[in-house]
Amino acid sequence: MSGILRNLRRLGISSLGLVSVFLILAIAGPWLVPHDPTTQDLMASSESFSATHWLGTDHLGRDTASRLILGAQTTLVAVAIVVCLAMCVGGLIGTISGYVGGVVDEVLMRFVDFGLSVPSMIVALAVIGVFGPGYWNMVLALTIAWVPSYARLSRATVAATVHQPHIESLRVLGASHSRIVFRHLAPTALSAVLVYASADAGVLALAIATLSFLGLGVQPPMAEWGQMLVDALPYMEGSPRQVILPGLALTIMVIGFNLLGEGLALLKAPRKIKARTLLRRRSEMKMKEQA
């Protein structure tokens, strides 16, 4: 069992390199693209792999490699914004609810429970239905849909910490409520939420691709993997490459984030102490007792 856990930890840590590749593509994307991803060349439409177009072109003659690279940037920027906003808003709600307790806790958590009872994609679709499709409307919709889960997790962490001796000592010493919340409870909740967010980023990337696939997220001519999939579907029989490449990129990203989240979670799991380490610690304790 310990060997399985050790292998899972290694796999989770190695996935950090996979996620780092996508982060590099997102940060340095505009300088890495070999061609303008929005330039159309109908004379070169649906070309296969070549020296000019490494991964071929789409039905409008746009370079596939360039669109895949900027698609990573589009997805990861949206993921980062949604995760940060949801963590801040949800973390603040959960921290205040867990610290204050009483009626405030009951009222806030009932709203959170209502948000959790409705599937996140349904909430996102409802918000987009009100504000209309578009990149920033999609980011707003997903943020609203993702806040309840972070609020519930933060509240559970704070509720388990608020009655610990060091928090009680701060109250006795006269520390203000804001100091206790923002200097001691919020960082504790943040550490627990970060592990969840690392795995949740993959689900969020898939949600972004789904909304764009439905025509409710990223709009043309902006490059995004879900939009590339829906644009390429009519040409799947003649040029399956146009569907396989963005689908493969999205799959690898989701797997990378999921493995990273599992690795970070396993890092916090207790590890079995080796017999050699245990003997060394016992000998050190005996030496201290004799001294």
User: Mean pLDDT over residues 173-187, rounded?
Assistant: 76
* pLDDT, tens digit, 9 for 90 and up, residues 119-168: 888 889 999 988 888 899 999 999 999 999 998 888 888 888 877 777 77
Residue type, 184: H
170-174, 198-202, 287-291 — which is least confidently predicted? Answer: 287-291
Q: Which H or E run contains 267?
A: helix 241-267
Mean pLDDT of 62-70: 88
Share of the chain above pLDDT 70, in %: 85
Residue 290 pLDDT grade (very low, low, confident, very high; cuts 50, 70, 90): low
Neighbours of 183 (CB within 10 A): 12
Distance separating alpha carbons of residues 57 and 166, to the nearest angstrom: 61
Query: Among 12-26, 59-73, 258-272, which range has the highest average pLDDT?
Result: 59-73
pLDDT band at 27 (very low <50, low <70, confident <90, very high): confident
Residue 161, C-beta contacts closer than 8 angstroms, at least 6 positions apart: 98, 167, 185, 188, 189
Residue 1: pLDDT band by 50, 70, 90 thresholds? very low
Q: Convert the pLDDT of each residue in 224-253 to its tens digit.
A: 888 888 888 888 888 888 888 899 989 888
- Residue 272's pLDDT band, with cuts at 50, 70 and 90, is low
**pLDDT of amino acid 289:** 61
| Count of beta carbons in the 10 Å neighbourhood of residue 249 | 20
The predicted pLDDT at position 274 comes to: 56
- Average confidence (pLDDT) over 9-35: 75
- The tens digit of pLDDT for each residue in 68-111 reads 888 888 899 999 999 999 988 988 888 888 888 888 888 888 89
Q: Which of 9-13, 123-127, 198-202, 263-267 has the highest mean pLDDT?
A: 123-127
Q: Do 269 and 245 touch, CB atoms closer than 8 A?
A: no
- Sequence length of the chain is 291
With beta carbons less than 8 A apart as the criterion, state whether 150 and 232 touch: no
What is the per-residue pLDDT for 13? 60
pLDDT at site 208 = 92
| Domains and their CATH numbers in the chain | 2-266 (1.10.3720.10)
Q: Which of 60, 78, 56, 59 is nearest to 68 (CA)?
A: 56
Average pLDDT of the residues of the chain: 81
